[in-house]
């Protein structure tokens, strides 16, 4: 079976819900932006293989793409409970927790873990270098009407395009779009373009974002 052939994988999965290959199919859906399908495949696969770290992480990414940040956090924490050095989960979790406005202690612990698994993680460096007083001031400066969106703190410096290539994903683009942070989403798309990611999808995302501006 060709693991890159979507049709073959779909047919195989339809007849073998218990296959350990379910993350492969889910990842293809995820890469195509079909988050609902990726989520469903992971949910079915995890019923048979509840300890699949790959399945849990892809499910967390699907939840992020759908805007379900609390659910995404839950699944990433499960991955990290068993695999504390899981780079993708460790570096993405604190970003999600910031959006969820978790406590400073929780964010500090998560960013420290992100930095331990990825010493070049710019997001973690930026956050951990902030002074507490300065952070409190920035939070109070957020207009009342925007608090529900919980925008990314400017110290993350997305507007300055200080985006770690490891963290730049289409999922991050969708999270930023969901928060109304269109210019930051365009910055992440620029990083994805430099990484050589799907050009057609990048063009499509740019058009959609510019139409929303």
pTM: 0.62
pLDDT digits (tens, 9 = 90+) for 166-203: 556 776 676 667 667 788 778 888 888 887 788 888 89
Asked whether residue 189 is domain-assigned, the answer is yes
Work out the percent of the chain whose per-residue pLDDT is above 70. 77
Residue 162 has pLDDT above 60, yes or no: no
Cα–Cα dist 93/76, whole Å: 6
**Token pair recorded at residue 21:** 């290959």
Across 45-62, average pLDDT:
93
DSSP state of 155: G
Asked whether residue 25 is domain-assigned, the answer is no
Asked whether residue 2 is domain-assigned, the answer is no
Q: Give the structural domain span for 160.
A: 51-212
Map tokens 């959609």 to a residue: 208
Cα–Cα dist 57/77, whole Å: 9
**pLDDT band for position 106 (cuts 50, 70, 90):** very high
Report pLDDT for 2: 59
Handedness of CA 13, 15, 17, 19 (dihedral sign): negative
List CB contacts of 144: < 8 A, sequence separation 6 or more: none
Report pLDDT for 194: 82
Asked whether residue 29 is domain-assigned, the answer is no
Using DSSP's 3-state secondary structure scheme, residue 59 falls into: helix
Name the domain count of the chain: 1
Residue 29 has pLDDT above 60, yes or no: yes
pLDDT digits (tens, 9 = 90+) for 135-147: 444 444 444 444 4
Most confident of 67-71, 123-127, 152-156, 188-192: 67-71
Across 20-25, average pLDDT:
88
Cα–Cα dist 75/78, whole Å: 5
**pLDDT band for position 165 (cuts 50, 70, 90):** low
Inter-residue contact 9 to 25 (CB < 8 Å): yes
Asked whether residue 167 is domain-assigned, the answer is yes
Report pLDDT for 178: 65
Asked whether residue 43 is domain-assigned, the answer is no
> In this structure, what CATH number is given to the domain that contains residue 171?
1.25.40.10
Asked whether residue 6 is domain-assigned, the answer is no
- DSSP for 103-143, written as a single string: -HHHHHHHHHHHHHH-TT-HHHHHHHTS-HHHHHHHHHTS-
**pLDDT band for position 118 (cuts 50, 70, 90):** very high
Q: How far is CA 81 from CA 56, 86, 181, in A?
A: 12, 10, 31
Residue 37 has pLDDT above 80, yes or no: yes
**pLDDT band for position 112 (cuts 50, 70, 90):** very high
Residue 148 has pLDDT above 60, yes or no: no
Map tokens 């997305």 to a residue: 158
Element (H, E) at 210: helix 199-212
Asked whether residue 106 is domain-assigned, the answer is yes
């Amino acid at each position: 079976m060709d693991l890159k052939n979507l049709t073959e994988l779909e047919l195989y999965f339809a007849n073998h819900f218990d296959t350990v290959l379910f993350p492969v199919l889910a990842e293809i859906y995820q890469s195509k932006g079909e988050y609902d399908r990726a989520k469903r495949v992971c949910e079915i696969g995890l019923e048979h293989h509840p300890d699949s770290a790959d399945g849990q992480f892809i499910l967390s990414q699907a939840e992020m793409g759908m805007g379900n940040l609390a659910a995404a956090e839950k699944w990433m924490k499960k991955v990290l409970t068993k695999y504390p050095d899981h780079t993708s989960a460790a570096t993405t979790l604190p970003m999600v927790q910031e959006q969820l406005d978790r406590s400073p202690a929780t964010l500090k612990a998560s960013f420290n873990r992100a930095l331990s698994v990825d010493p070049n993680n710019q997001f973690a460096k930026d956050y951990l270098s902030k002074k507490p007083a300065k952070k409190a001031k920035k939070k109070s400066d957020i207009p009342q009407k925007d608090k529900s969106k919980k925008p990314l703190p400017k110290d993350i410096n997305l507007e300055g395009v200080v985006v770690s290539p490891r963290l730049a994903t289409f999922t991050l683009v969708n999270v930023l779009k969901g928060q109304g942070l269109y210019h930051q989403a365009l910055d992440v798309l620029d990083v994805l373009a430099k990484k050589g990611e799907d050009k057609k999808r990048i063009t499509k995302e740019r058009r959609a974002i510019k139409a929303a501006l």
